[in-house]
């Protein structure tokens, strides 16, 4: 005996049937049977069944009697412990049956397990973000109240115990497109709890030929389903309705509190907008100040560049003047300088230029008769100002009678 019987009603969905059957046969739980009921279709599924060539498929042909009757025919012929319902235009992920069978075997008191679904279009591409988990108020246990208000899950998402379905009499053939909804209601009313598995294991196709697209039919059968349930199970339906009323009252209360919170939020938003306006004004002022600062910095840098150029020119001019003054003094001997300072000779530079630019300030002697180190003892302030010692002597010190070297050397 197979573990699961997969019920596939077929009526003019030949373009999708092979994908449907292939997904059923590819289940990781392989101990299954697939009962395909051809409900008087003008399209013949036998060629696809022959091409697939799997002994687990059982094809039953009958005159057209509707989807509920086709499912009941398959249920009567089934041998599995569990029933799974897969419409011919839908398909499953490979772990669909194994996941839901495990869920029910772990919970003997439960009669129905179901999973989340993915809506796909006629080409099999994801159509929207619909999720059973996000659409139902209650997912597990006694879900009768939530069954009355929506959160639809199709037959392809469901696995039920065969004994439970046969106990309540299968699908109601008078309820057309809502016969599955009626079956879930009757299972719950009969005392069977449900378990939800969050994985998206079923793919539900949306296309123009789908029965669910006939809004008038779906509305009429929905009303008939509720009327039947209220008549057949008045107490349970009254209790479920009361639960909905209480949850609605609680929702109204919470909504009222939420409305107060929303008003408070609007007030806070208004205050924040005012604060943001002030911040924007402050930002504009800061940006203006920053522009002024940048302009001032640019102007300052421009002046610095100009001053550096002027100082460079002045330095060049000063060095030229100093060079001439030193030459005029007669107190610089190039040969003496090079012999006294081999590093200058090794560098290969002009000895006079070296003496003008740095040698004098370093205290080097350019002539036997002038000792800059001794000279600076007489004019320390000139040394501190970076004046060339020989230039200072020739233009200032000489006039003041300063000596050019230590008298002890005389």
Q: Is residue 74 included in any domain, yes or no?
A: yes
pLDDT band at 308 (very low <50, low <70, confident <90, very high): low
119-166 tens-digit pLDDT: 999 888 998 988 988 888 788 988 888 888 765 789 999 999 999 999
Look at the chain and report how many structural domains it folds into: 2
Q: Is residue 271 included in any domain, yes or no?
A: no
Residue with tokens 């159509």: 127
Would you say residue 250 has pLDDT above 50? no
Q: Is residue 210 included in any domain, yes or no?
A: yes
Q: Is residue 318 included in any domain, yes or no?
A: no
- The Cα–Cα gap between 321 and 308 comes to 19
Q: How far is CA 125 from CA 220, 261, 381, 384, in A?
A: 30, 41, 92, 88
Q: Domain holding 66: CATH number?
A: 3.90.550.10
For residue 208, give its domain range.
4-232
Report the pLDDT value the prediction gives residue 272, as an integer from 0 to 100: 60
Let me know whether 86 and 218 are in one domain.
Answer: yes
Let me know whether 96 and 226 are in one domain.
Answer: yes
Please, are residues 59 and 36 in contact by the beta-carbon 8 Å criterion? Answer: yes
The residue among 198, 215, 232 that closes a domain is 232
Let me know whether 76 and 206 are in one domain.
Answer: yes
Per-residue b or e along 236-245, where b marks 16 or more CB atoms closer than 10 Å to that residue's CB: bbeebeebbe
Q: Is residue 221 included in any domain, yes or no?
A: yes
pLDDT band at 284 (very low <50, low <70, confident <90, very high): confident
The residue among 199, 232, 265 that closes a domain is 232
Let me know whether 156 and 16 are in one domain.
Answer: yes
Prediction pTM value: 0.59
pLDDT band at 251 (very low <50, low <70, confident <90, very high): very low
Q: Is residue 258 included in any domain, yes or no?
A: no
- In this prediction, residues 297-313 reach a mean pLDDT of 72
Q: Measure the N-to-C terminal CA separation of the chain; round to a whole number of Å.
A: 134
Nearest Cα neighbor of 165 from 140, 184, 147, 145 is 184
The residue among 232, 263, 289 that closes a domain is 232
Report the pLDDT value the prediction gives residue 316, as an integer from 0 to 100: 67
Dihedral sign computed on CA atoms, order 305, 309, 311, 312: positive
- In this prediction, residues 268-297 reach a mean pLDDT of 76
Q: Is residue 280 included in any domain, yes or no?
A: no
Let me know whether 214 and 72 are in one domain.
Answer: yes
16-73 tens-digit pLDDT: 999 999 999 999 999 999 999 999 999 999 999 999 999 999 999 999 999 999 999 9
- The Cα–Cα gap between 357 and 316 comes to 10
Let me know whether 35 and 162 are in one domain.
Answer: yes
Q: Is residue 217 included in any domain, yes or no?
A: yes
């Amino acid at each position: 005996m197979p573990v699961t019987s997969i019920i596939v009603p077929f009526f003019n969905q030949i373009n999708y049937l092979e994908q449907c059957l292939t997904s059923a046969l590819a289940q990781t739980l392989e101990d299954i049977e697939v009962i395909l009921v051809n409900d008087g279709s003008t399209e013949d599924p036998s060629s696809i069944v022959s091409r697939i060539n799997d002994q687990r498929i059982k094809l039953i042909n009958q005159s057209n009697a509707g989807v509920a009757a086709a499912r009941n025919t398959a249920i009567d012929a089934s041998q599995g412990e569990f029933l799974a319902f897969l419409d011919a235009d839908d398909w499953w992920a490979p772990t669909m049956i194994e996941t839901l069978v495990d869920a029910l075997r772990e919970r003997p008191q439960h009669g129905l397990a179901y999973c989340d679904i993915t809506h796909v279009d006629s080409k099999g591409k994801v159509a929207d973000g619909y999720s059973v988990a996000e659409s139902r108020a209650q997912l597990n246990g006694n879900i009768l109240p939530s069954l009355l208000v929506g959160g639809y899950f199709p037959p392809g998402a469901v696995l039920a115990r065969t004994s439970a379905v046969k106990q309540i009499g299968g699908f109601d053939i008078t309820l057309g497109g809502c016969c599955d909804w009626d079956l879930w209601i009757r299972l719950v009313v009969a005392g069977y709890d449900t378990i939800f598995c969050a994985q998206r294991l079923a793919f539900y196709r949306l296309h123009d030929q789908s029965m669910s697209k006939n809004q008038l039919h779906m509305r009429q059968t929905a009303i008939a389903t509720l009327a039947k349930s209220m008549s057949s199970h008045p107490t349970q339906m009254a209790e479920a309705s009361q639960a909905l009323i209480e949850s609605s009252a609680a929702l109204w209360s919470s909504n009222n509190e939420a409305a107060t919170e929303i008003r408070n939020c609007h007030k806070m938003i208004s205050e924040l907008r005012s604060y943001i306006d002030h911040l924007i004004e402050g930002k504009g002022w800061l940006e203006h100040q920053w522009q002024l600062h940048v302009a001032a910095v640019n102007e300052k840098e421009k002046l610095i560049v100009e001053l550096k150029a002027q100082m460079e020119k002045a330095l060049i001019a000063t060095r030229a003047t100093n060079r001439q003054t030193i030459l005029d003094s007669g107190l610089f001997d190039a040969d003496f300088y090079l012999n006294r300072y081999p590093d200058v000779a090794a560098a290969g530079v002009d000895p006079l230029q070296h003496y003008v630019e740095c040698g004098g300030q370093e205290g080097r002697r350019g002539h036997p008769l002038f000792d800059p180190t001794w000279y600076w003892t007489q004019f320390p302030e000139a040394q501190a100002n970076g004046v060339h010692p020989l230039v200072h002597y020739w233009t200032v010190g000489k006039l003041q009678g300063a000596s050019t070297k230590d008298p002890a050397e005389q």
